[in-house]
Structure 1
Amino acid sequence: MTFGIVATGHALGEPTPVMAAAPGYVEDLRTVRGWGYRTFHRAETGVGLTDLAVRAGQDVLARTGTPAAEVDLIVLAMSDIAEYLYWDAAASVQARLEAHRAEAVLVNQACGGGVTAFDTVAGRFATHDDYDTALIIGANRVCEEYSNRMSANTCVNGDGAAAALVRRGAGGCRWLTTETITDGRYAGFYRLDIGGAASPFTQALAGPVRVSDPFDRLEEFFEGDVAAMFDFARMALRRNREVLERACKRAGVTPESVTRVIHLNDNLKALTDLAGELGVPIGRTNAELALDHGHLGCADQIFGLDRLLASGELVPGDLVALTSMSSGMHWSCTLLRVQPTAEELR
């Protein structure tokens, strides 16, 4: 069973200079400046996660001239809170795209969802012989009532969605495999402690509870054990290499043959460290795209692929690794092989 990406598309919030907006989010600008981001995308008031997802889906369907009625499967990955709770955002996107015969699946594993969504498609294609066309959408819309764009993690977080239309036995980027490592010991590291069934929101709260600073979370989670914090950071970096190696082994290729690594749109130091761990030049990562667009949650990898394909930086034969680290914690890698066009085969 094989499938590949026929086309990609995207929908982004308004481009916003990072340092012009930063005083509205943080008092000390040095950390944000040191991350190296130049621009991020911020959606207009009233534009939700599913709005961006629908726009990205419409974009890729229009690019290919594919009627929504031909789509058999929609996988929506999201990395923030959708417009409503107790609500299936994937089903809403299916209806708004008018892909009424498509099965809708929701993937909600933070920044890795757009990478693992390929495995979801592979599974559905393997068990449903009549599924030929699928739409993968990764979407992110920061809920600013709960999360500060510039202090919730070590990224400048933005709003956007990216979509990939895939077909069985076709596509310009052929899926090879997806691999994920999960370590549930750290499941509580990123959680928002108020608002769930264990501790619901109440009227007694003075205001919305916000995601705390990552360094405060690290301090609390490891109870001030500095050595444990450093061990965690080293482990988290190392597992990006381990999941890439596992994916390469499963696909029957070598890590050295990977042409391009498209990671989450992390800050410059983090991507530099990643490149060093993987043994690739920083120029073979998505560093420049990350600094130009900010972190788009689980849309990063498909968006990066979209931009690199559009610019001609990926050529037939290239082996591309979509990689991510996400809360849970999970480390994921999807391998794709760029295929020659019909004209190039003549």
Structure 2
Amino acid sequence: MRYADTYISGVGAFVPRTVVTVEKAVAKGWYPAEEAELHNLAGAVVAGDLPAPEMALHAARSALKRGGRAPADVDLLLYASTWHQGPDGWPPHSYLQRHLVGGDVLATEIRQGCNGMFIALELAAGYLDAAPARQAALLVAADNYGTPLMDRWRMGPGYIGGDAAAALVLTKEAGFARLTSACTTTVAEAEELHRGSEDLFPPGVTVGRRMSFAARNEQFRNQVMPKGEATSALFKIQRALMEVVEQVLDESGIEARDLARVAFMNYSEEIVEQRCMAVLDLPMSRSTWDYGRTIGHCGAGDQVLALDRLLVTGQLGPGDHLLMLGTGPGVTVSAAVIEIIDNPPWA
């Protein structure tokens, strides 16, 4: 969807200082040496026992401060997550309500996997536009994968899990950047790709079953692909990716060659190049892979973490366009274009 007056006034990030390198992971036997050579990843940020909602609070405070907004200015709080946040049955956004924005703010958790921040962007933009009095939305994504039922080094094919939080403030008043377009589509035929052959009941976590997208992907390829259905579904995912990119570029009035940078998911070099940059006919130097390979795949926060990094290092300036692109279980495919209007004072 095309947006005319939807802006970003602040971006925040919390990235743990502890980095476990791939070399150490291989030496410890956590990460296969052949995977390290194939994917060319450097490491993952690790939060230890710091809860995801606490990281989210740090990132959210930073985004509000940078955007010149008081917590009381927030009309909507959306919290995107991909992994367990705390006690089962407890909503993590309530932690930010208590410690930051208060209870009068409409708040909810977005459980849309790695594309949660894209869904949050679209929902927040529509919510703000629906009433003149609504002015600002706080979007947050946070995860800590250092739990017994998750192996960050074998999380999925071509990526390792990093712990971090990212936040941005979406407003109707002019900010340093403008959201020009965002869209999401779902390839329902590929739903089984992230489910594999695992039973729907009882849920795996309730019986202590480890979570591995890598194992589920392998089940999908071994059990579904021989039927001829999977090949078609995988093709549709790539086609859907091309279609959402074409839509957001068209709605933003630009072409792929006009993009200053592209923020895809923090995946392996070959995945980023083949699934993303080659589709755009752009060199890897315009991707954010060089940064992403050092921190790991940080759930729904990858693209906003990349935006924060590009801004604080001066790699984006007025007139530049950033394409954010991602996929998530379901299978959803999302894209968004952000236009930099001015250099934020905190960059």
Q: In the superposition, relative to structure 1, how do residues 341 and 304 fare at CA in structure 2: closer, same or farther (>3 Å)?
A: closer
Q: In the superposition, relative to structure 1, how do residues 126 and 36 fare at CA in structure 2: closer, same or farther (>3 Å)?
A: same
- Distance in 2, matches of 1:237 and 1:202, equals 31
Alpha-carbon RMSD: 2.6
**Count of residues in correspondence between the two structures:** 338
1:156 corresponds to 2:160 = yes
1:176 corresponds to 2:180 = yes
Aligned to 1:95: 98
Shift, 1:21, TM fit: 2.4
Aligned to 2:295: 293
TM-score using structure 1 length: 0.88
- Distance in 2, matches of 1:145 and 1:288, equals 29
CA offsets, 1:246-290, max 9 Å, x none? 122233433333222111111111011121112111111111011
- Distance in 1, matches of 2:197 and 2:268, equals 26
- Distance in 2, matches of 1:133 and 1:312, equals 26
8 Å CA contact retained: 1:22, 1:29: yes
- Distance in 1, matches of 2:279 and 2:343, equals 33
8 Å CA contact retained: 1:115, 1:301: no
Q: Percent identity?
A: 21
8 Å CA contact retained: 1:262, 1:320: yes
Aligned to 1:137: 140
**3-state SS of the aligned residue for 1:175?**
strand
8 Å CA contact retained: 1:262, 1:321: yes
8 Å CA contact retained: 2:196, 2:219: no
Shift, 1:105, TM fit: 2.7
Aligned to 2:47: 43
Shift, 1:90, TM fit: 2.0
Q: In the superposition, relative to structure 1, how do residues 200 and 290 fare at CA in structure 2: closer, same or farther (>3 Å)?
A: closer
CA offsets, 1:98-132, max 9 Å, x none? 43332213211111111222111111111122111
Shift, 1:192, TM fit: 7.8
Aligned to 2:218: 216
**3-state SS of the aligned residue for 1:20?**
helix
- Distance in 1, matches of 2:291 and 2:240, equals 23
Shift, 1:237, TM fit: 3.1
Q: In the superposition, relative to structure 1, how do residues 96 and 194 fare at CA in structure 2: closer, same or farther (>3 Å)?
A: farther
Equivalent position amino acid for 1:30 in 2: E
Q: Unmatched 5+ residue regions in structure 1?
A: none
Equivalent position amino acid for 1:297 in 2: G
8 Å CA contact retained: 1:54, 1:97: yes
Equivalent position amino acid for 1:282 in 2: M
Equivalent position amino acid for 1:38 in 2: A
CA offsets, 1:177-214, max 9 Å, x none? 11111112222321387696x324699x5x43432525
Shift, 1:151, TM fit: 1.5
Question: Higher mean Cα deviation, 78-87 or 127-136?
Answer: 78-87
- Distance in 2, matches of 1:167 and 1:103, equals 15
8 Å CA contact retained: 2:25, 2:31: no
Question: Higher mean Cα deviation, 152-161 or 77-86?
Answer: 77-86
